[in-house]
Amino acid sequence: MKKSLFSAIIAILIFTNNFAQTTWEAPYVGSSKEILYLPDANAVYWRYGWERTENQTSGYIIKGEFPDARYFSYNIYDDNTKTSLGSLTDINIVADGNNEYSIYIVPEGTIINAKNVFYFKKNLTKISIMLRHYLPKNNINGNKPLPTIANFDPKNNAIEKANKSTTVPKFSKEDVDKYLIPMFNKFMENSEEEMEKLMTNESKKTLNIEELICKQVVEGAFNFYKKDSLIHSYNLKSDGTYPNKDNHYLTMPMIRFNPSDVCIVKFKAPKFPKTKSEFTKSDVRYFSISQGDELTYNMQTIADYQFLIHPDGFIYIVIGNETEALKNKAKSLKINFMPWLTKEKMLLIYRNMLPNENYKLGVNSVPEMDKTKPAEKQRGERFIGEFSPISNFFSTEIFMKSTSIPKF
């Protein structure tokens, strides 16, 4: 026992002295309008990816410090589906001592005596782990050094320098089967019409392959938008977009046919923590509304603490062309303003992070969309009532002349 403990200590010292370097990819900052997969603008994440053979026994060890942030976590992903296999959340990470932690990432079935162990399936061949910070203080690292990664062999506790991260696959096996092949089949049937769809509306610039896949992934969401009627939110499948396992999402698809119209969104919000002591007591850890386009780029996010709450208890957001007159009108009505930054199609993403198990009005209470059932029976408000966002379009003229928030 003493010998094995001594070996482990020596291994950690070697790791600290010789391999104390980061191997993460450059950070993906959610506020950048060049990041795909509908990120939250208040999040930053780092990815490390690797390829392995089936039943390979080695894994990785991550050592870091708890950052100053509203939230941080690690998610493991199968890069063949771009789907999260699980999350290790900050409150579940056990400290080594002081403010430091160690996490072992190993194949399932591995016998290891450690405080924090993250298992993945043995048959996976392409894997990513992502570190996320939400609302980090002062800088994207949350005032702490970026955690370090090293290769770890549980057979002999050997720790070696990790290889450079593999890149995010341009498309997964599922992307090829579900989106790429059908897209090319359509192209062969009508090349001119399909080529028009594969270009951006303004510049006629051809989209790159990753943008094409992302566009195909979310294209079906716009089938739930009905012109000239109330707009609803749905719990649409988020696989294929590297979702955070701790987040629950409602998606509101909308299409603005008149470029001068405004859209008014309303919903009641959960309570969020103001201090760390409230993390496990509040309704959710964090919530936000993000504006995404049809290529899955995020245009803007409003975080929980930034919202104005109207005296009637609702949060209202007017989304329209950015003018001083429109912003001043929103301010006079005590509602939030968000500029319309996409083209005619928009995906409004409502996030609830880590809903409290005693809170029954969170997004997690809305079942995932079942395509075999009528869509109108799966609207968010059918399950969580006024806590599910709804919206409606109005002409700018009507909105500007209103002495109160238009009813819908």
pLDDT exceeds cutoff 50 at 158: yes
pLDDT at 191: 54
- Measured distance CA(157)–CA(141) in Å, rounded: 29
**CA angle (12 as vertex; 73, 137 as ends), nearest 5:** 30
For the stretch 171-204, pLDDT in tens is 655 665 666 666 556 655 665 565 555 555 554 5
Q: Output the pTM of the full model.
A: 0.87
- pLDDT score, position 217: 85
DSSP 23-56: -PPSPEETT-TT--S---TTEEEEEEEEE--TT-
More confident residue, 217 or 143: 143
In this prediction, residue 240 carries a pLDDT of 76
Sketch the domain layout of the chain as residue ranges: 28-161, 221-401
Average confidence score pLDDT of the chain: 90
Residue 25 predicted with pLDDT over 60: yes
- So what's the pLDDT on residue 239? 78
Specify the CATH number for 221-401; select among 2.60.120, 3.10.20, 2.40.50, 2.40.128.
2.60.120
Rounded to an integer, what distance in angstroms lies between the CA atom of residue 196 and that of residue 21? 46
pLDDT of residue 210: 83
For the residues 325-330, what does the mean pLDDT come to? 98
Please name which of 197, 356, 347, 195 lies closest in space to residue 273, comparing C-alpha atoms. Answer: 356
- Specify the pLDDT at position 7: 46
* Residue 13, pLDDT score: 44
In terms of average pLDDT, the best of 76-90, 154-168, 258-272 is 258-272
Select from 403, 358, 359, 365 the least CA-distant residue to 384.
365
Which one has a higher pLDDT value, 169 or 188?
Answer: 169
* pLDDT(2) > 60: no
pLDDT at 4 over 80: no
Of the candidates 86, 91, 118, 82, the one whose C-alpha atom is nearest the C-alpha of residue 102 is 118
Backbone angles phi, psi at 140, to 5 degrees: -65, -20
pLDDT in tens, 98-119: 899 999 999 999 999 999 999 9
In sequence order, what are the residues at sequence separation of 6 or more whose Cβ sits closer than 8 angstroms to the Cβ of residue 390?
230, 231, 232, 233, 252, 265, 266, 267, 381, 408
Q: So what's the pLDDT on residue 23?
A: 86
pLDDT number for residue 112: 93
Residue pLDDT, tens place only, 68-100: 999 999 999 999 888 999 999 999 999 998 899
What was the pLDDT predicted at 9? 43
The mean pLDDT of 355-382, rounded to a whole number, is 97
The pLDDT score that the predictor gives to residue 205 is: 57
The more confidently predicted of residues 205 and 140 is 140
What's the whole-number mean pLDDT along residues 272-300?
97
101 with 170: CB under 8 angstroms?
no
Q: Is the pLDDT of residue 256 over 80?
A: yes
Return the structure tokens found at 161: 């320098």
Percent of the chain surpassing pLDDT 70: 86
CA atoms of 66 and 101, how far apart (whole Å): 7
Q: 28-161 belongs to which CATH class?
A: mainly beta
Strands 336-339 and 315-320: parallel
